[in-house]
Structure 1
Amino acid sequence: MSDICEKLSIREAGSSDYDEIMKIGEFLYGFDFVASMYHQYLTWYHCYVGIIEGQIIAFNAGKIVDGGKTMITSGARVKAKLQGQGIMGQIIKHIVKKLRHISPELEYDCLTATSETTSEHEDKILRNYKYILKQINCDICCKRTDFNTDKINPNIGNDIQEIRYNRLKEIFYSPTSQWMFPDHRIVADWSSYRLLEENIPSLLERFGFWESGHLQSTVISVAETYVVKDRLNYCLNFYGSDSMEIRNHIAFHIQRIPEFVTTKCDDIMLSMLFPEYVQNPGQYYELFKSNCNDKAGQYAGELRLYERQL
C-alpha cells in the first residue's frame, strides 16, 4: 500500500457531496454523465467517496447484478495528481467488502474501459482481469439548430415494438440469444449484464428496449437519454446483424430525439455501440449525415469488457 493510501478514508457518498465530487476533475471531455445523474446514482448504485485530509479526492459506484454473482462499477474517478497510487484499488476493495455483506455469493467484478484507456493501461488491467469482449463505439455530434428529420420516411419504424418484461425474458432464454449476445451478455450504460431474469427489473427501470423482426427478433436496440450541460445524449446499443433493420432502428430513434430536446440543449450526441460481429458500423454515420445533418462530427472507438474472479 502506498503512503498516500495510508491517509485514505472511505465512506458512503450522500447527496450533499455532489459539489465536491464534481471538483475531482473533468471527465469525458466535460460531458460527465454522473454530473447529470448523480442523485439517480445514489438510488441505482452503492456510491463511495475517498477522502484525504478532509477533502473528497475520489469516487466510485458499485452495483450487484447477475442474481448476486457480479459487481459492476460506474463513474470511477480520482484527482489527477493522485492517480496511479492505488487509491481506486482500495475503494474497489472497500465496495466489494460492503457488497458481500448484502450478497455473500458475490463472485465476479466486471470492468469496462475505452480504447484510449486500454491503449495505455491494458497490460496492467490484464494482470488482474480477463478480457471478455469488445463493442464498437460510434458517437455522432451536431448542433441542435442543424438537426432535422425531414428526409426520414415517417413510416420507418412502424414494425419496431417496445419490449416489456415477459418478452425480454423470452428473448434472454431463446436460442436466438446464443448468437445475438456475445458471451451471453447484454451491455447497457457501458456495463455488462448476463442474460438472467434477475437483471430484467433494473434494466427496464433505466433503459428502453425495442425490437423488430415480428415473431423472431432480428435486431434489438437499447436506449437511454440524458442531458449533460447543454447537450442531449441519446445512447443506443444494438444487437443483431441485419444492416437494413439496424438502419430502420436508427431512423426510428432519430425521429424520437426531438421528444427529448429542450431549450437548454444546444448540441445533440447520438452514441451507438455495436457488437464486434456487426459489419462496417461506419455506414450508420453516413445515414445520419445524409438524413439529418451533413455537418455532423464523428468519433469512433472501442469499449472493452473485462472480468475477474474475486
Structure 2
Amino acid sequence: MATPTDILTSHGTRLQDRIAFSEIVFPAVEHIPDALIFSQSKPVTMEIKSEAGSVSVPFVPELPASQIIEEGQEIPESAAQINSLNIFTFKITSLVTATNESVEYDNNASKIQTLLTWQMDKSVTNKADAVFLQNAPNEDANGIPDGPIGLFNLKGITQGGEIANGEGITNALQNGLSVLVDALAKVSAKGAKPTSLIMNFGTWAQLLNLQYADYRPMISPDVANAPIPMLYGLPVVINNAAPDNKILINDANVVYSAITDMRVSSSAHSKFSRDATQFRVTFRFGFGCTNPERLAVVSVYNPVPPKAKTTKA
C-alpha cells in the first residue's frame, strides 16, 4: 500500500486519504466567482479583521475637467475634490458537520471534502447576493448598522416608474418598456453609465410576457433565448436574490466593495465525542455606493385580470 503524501497548508499538513484538520486561505474570487459582488461592483481585496472596522475608499464625485493647452503653458489646477467612502465589512460563514466514516469512505476524503466545500461555497454565494441586493440593516444606539444596505434599498436611489403588465396594455409607448427607457434616461442625466439590469427570473418572465396591441412580444425571442440576454445594450443579470417585481438599473462604476480572502477550515475538536468533523467557510465583505442617484429601481405591475361576471339562470 502506498504511503500517503503530506500536503502543506497554511496551518500545518494534511494527508491525501484522511480528513484535513487545517485551514487554507484562498482569494474569495476563486471560491465564489459567481457572487454578484465581483461583477456588479468595483471590488477591493483587503486584509480586514476588525468586527467594527471600516475601509475608506477614496473617490472623485465629479470628474475633473480636461482641457487643451499650448506647449509650455502652465497646466491649470482642477477644482475637483476627492472624497472617501467608508465601507463597513461583515462576516459571512457556513458550517457543516460530517461523520468521519462518511468523509473517509473508501479513501475518498479529498473528493468528499471538495464536494462539501462546493456546497458551502454555494450557500455563501447565495447569502452574499441576498445581502448585496436586498439587505435592510438595523442600527445600534451609535448609528452603526448590523449589515450593509442592499442596492435595492439605497437611500437616494432614483425611482424609475412602473411597467404595467397584463390586460391593461394597449399601447407599448404608454405602458410598456418605454418606462425602462425613461429610467435609463433619468440616471444617465445624473451622470450614470448603466452597466446592467438586475432582476429575478419571475420579473424577467413578466417582461417576456409583455405584448403589443397586436399580441407581438415586446422582447424579441432572439433576445430571450440568448445565453446573456441584452436590453438596450445592457446585460440582463438574473438572480434569485433580487426582489419580486423589481428591476435594478445598476452602475457598477459607483458601487465599491471591500472583500477579504476566504478561509476554508476543518476541525474535529468540538465534535470529538461524536467521531465527527466540522467544515467551515468564512470571509468578510462590505460595499457602498458613492452616487445612489445613478442607480434606479423600476417596478413591474402585474394586475390580476377581473373575473367575468356570471348570471344565475
**TM-score (norm. length: structure 1):** 0.27
Q: Which has the larger strand fraction?
A: 1
| Higher RCO by CA contacts (8 Å cutoff, separation 6 or greater) | 2
* Rg (Cα) greater in structure: 2
**TM-score (norm. length: structure 2):** 0.26
Q: Which has the larger helix fraction?
A: 1
